Amino acid sequence: MDGDVVLFSFNHHLVAGFPNQLTQIEISESIAEFIGRRLGQFQ
């Protein structure tokens, strides 16, 4: 799980660097979907 946390942290900072709010939302949604799939594997 540590790898997932690092990846999320990296993506969070990457998203924060985008000036376009729409792009932020799209990337945030893709991250949420990625996390959802990963969490689904543990259930």
Domain assignment of residue 10, given as a range: 3-41
Burial code (b: 16+ CB inside 10 Å, e: under 16) for 14-31 equals: ebeeeeeeeeeeebeeeb
Supply the pLDDT for residue 1: 47
Count the Cβ atoms, other than its own, within 10 Å of residue 35. Answer: 14
- Is the model's pTM score more than 0.85? no
- Whole-angstrom Cα distance, residue 25 to residue 43? 27
Residue 31's closest CA among 5, 13, 8? Answer: 8
Taking 70 as the pLDDT cut, the residues of the chain under it are 1-24, 42-43
How many domains are there within the chain? Answer: 1
Predicted local confidence at residue 6, as pLDDT: 55
